[in-house]
Amino acid sequence: MEFVRTPDDRFADLPDFPYAPHYLEGLPGFEGLRMHYVDEGPRDAEHTFLCLHGEPSWSFLYRKMLPVFTAAGGRVVAPDLFGFGRSDKPTDDAVYTFGFHRRSLLAFLDALQLERVTLVCQDWGGILGLTLPVDRPQLVDRLIVMNTALAVGLSPGKGFESWRDFVANSPDLDVGKLMQRAIPGITDAEVAAYDAPFPGPEFKAGVRRFPAIVPITPDMEGAEIGRQAMSFWSTQWSGPTFMAVGPQDPVLGPEVMGMLRQAIGGCPEPMIVEAGGHFVQEHGEPIARAALAAFGQ
């Protein structure tokens, strides 16, 4: 499999992200590729926070939540999906499928022997992450969920379809400018950090593909596992849940999150982050503190 690897110097001087990189190589089914992840806090912590990013971000997205979790004594594990962050990036767009990403996450979990985690997810981090208990029913002990969905074969609406079409017509999508538009008040250094993984179009195959593979029709790959996941969260889940919603999100905002809340057994009223948009983790410190308080931690 042909891939590119973003040079390390692209990740120098990341603002508020001083964390040492960790890598896994030789994951079964992904031989030859290297996956990056952040791993902070004690390995024997009572709670491990598994933080999953989406499109077109990477583990840098969790920089405002991570210190809150570690200060509370937790371990934080935040992988970069293949095609994103410091992970390797196959150059063939067709490589990136729902199954490719989901299988890589399952292989990652097995390699680190993660179980009983607090799942922290948003965007594709939830579209993929919320399906993991179908194969690993003991994986999730607690849930923190933000601006995402269970993809069961239905379109989230015209906002998503416009986004999908925009990306399809932007083979060299300017990730930094996109994040700058999406996150009011973001600094130039933060824009550069979000753009760091993608120095050229050959690094952006994963970015280009994600919108096209969201399971929005019943026969698309991932829709059936999404329906199985909905059954899990509706009928088998009884653990603590915390939901935060950025209402300025034009795609996965309050309406979609309201439907997700109904699908998660026992999900309480969400925390509404009034200034928050799609990348609500940019308001991550108060969200993380509120989640821990709700969990009694």
Place of tokens 């889940």: 237
* Exposure class string for 271-292: b at 16+ Cβ within 10 A, else e: bebeebbbbbbbbbeebbebbb
The amino acid occupying position 58 is W
47 is an active site residue: no
Structure tokens at 88: 């390797």
Q: Choose the catalytic residue: 123, 135, 174, 188.
A: 123
Q: Is 278 a catalytic residue?
A: yes
Point out the catalytic residue in the list 80, 88, 195, 249.
249
Backbone angles phi, psi at 241, to 5 degrees: -130, 140
In the structure encoding, which two tokens stand for residue 178, read together? 């996109």
CA 124, CA 128: separation in Å to the nearest integer?
Answer: 6
Q: What's 48's DSSP letter?
A: E
**CA 128/CA 140 separation, integer angstroms:** 13
Select which of 36, 47, 101, 278 is catalytic: 278
d(CA 36, CA 257): 29
Residue 151, φ and ψ in degrees, nearest 5: -85, 105
CA 70/CA 41 separation, integer angstroms: 6
Q: Is 88 a catalytic residue?
A: no
Beta-bridge mates of residue 37: 22, 79
Residues belonging to the active site: 123, 249, 278
